[in-house]
């Protein structure tokens, strides 16, 4: 059962990062200021200076010694946010392909009990996605996989592989594969 969230919230922004040095500062600077005090960056063994920059930005930083892949990085992000007592967890890729200013709307929709999970999308149009920095190979791979996933699931999401998601903490706590492992 999902519990109602009180007006006093612990909102945690998690950034699953891999070689994000070039876009991290821009992404972080666009996060609404009221949420910048609880940002966790999990560096998945980057080869650039992502960790150093994150520390300069005063983010809570966790670095994997070995690359765990995208799924492993996300799990670490969520586990760390739950350990910090987050009521709402917003995952945002630090590649600046998603608008961090939308975080406040995601939080409000969950806080006001409209949704337990919200998914962002960078796919409103092909040109917008490509102009936003999405490489062509990722765009076409994403579109192909999304068509297959929509067909198999009977749903119609614009993007199944979104880098901007928000969760009520109870949703993440209910996922056994997430809570059964260590960071």
Tens of pLDDT along the chain (183 residues) come to 445 555 678 999 999 999 999 999 999 999 999 999 999 999 999 999 999 999 999 999 999 999 999 899 999 999 999 999 999 999 999 988 889 999 999 999 999 999 999 988 766 545 666 676 667 887 788 778 878 877 888 887 776 677 899 999 999 999 876 666 665
The verdict on residue 26 lying in a domain is yes
* One domain for residues 61 and 129: no
The verdict on residue 38 lying in a domain is yes
pTM: 0.84
* One domain for residues 26 and 100: yes
The verdict on residue 1 lying in a domain is no
Closest CA to 77 of 9, 13, 29: 13
The C-alpha atoms of residue 43 and residue 59 are separated, in whole angstroms, by 11
* One domain for residues 72 and 83: yes
The range of the structural domain enclosing residue 42 comes to 11-122+161-175
* One domain for residues 91 and 170: yes
* One domain for residues 112 and 129: no
- 21-54 burial, b at 16+ Cβ within 10 Å, e below that, comes to bebbbebbeebeeebeebbbbbbbebeebbbebb
The verdict on residue 85 lying in a domain is yes
């Amino acid at each position: 059962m999902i519990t109602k969230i009180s007006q006093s919230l612990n909102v945690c922004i998690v950034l699953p990062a891999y070689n994000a040095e070039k876009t991290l500062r821009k992404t972080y600077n666009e996060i609404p200021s009221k949420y910048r005090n609880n940002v966790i960056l999990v560096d998945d063994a980057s080869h650039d200076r992502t960790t150093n920059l994150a520390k300069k930005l005063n983010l809570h930083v966790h670095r994997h010694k070995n690359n765990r892949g995208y799924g492993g990085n996300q799990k670490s992000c969520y586990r760390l946010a739950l350990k910090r007592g987050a009521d709402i967890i917003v995952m945002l890729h630090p590649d600046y392909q998603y608008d961090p200013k939308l975080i406040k709307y995601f939080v409000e929709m969950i806080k006001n009990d409209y949704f337990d999970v919200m998914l962002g999308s960078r796919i409103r149009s092909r040109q917008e996605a490509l102009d936003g920095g999405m490489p062509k190979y990722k765009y076409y791979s994403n579109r192909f996989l999304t068509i297959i996933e929509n067909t198999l699931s009977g749903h119609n999401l614009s993007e199944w592989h979104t880098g901007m998601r928000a969760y009520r903490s109870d949703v993440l706590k209910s996922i056994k594969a997430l809570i059964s492992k260590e960071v």
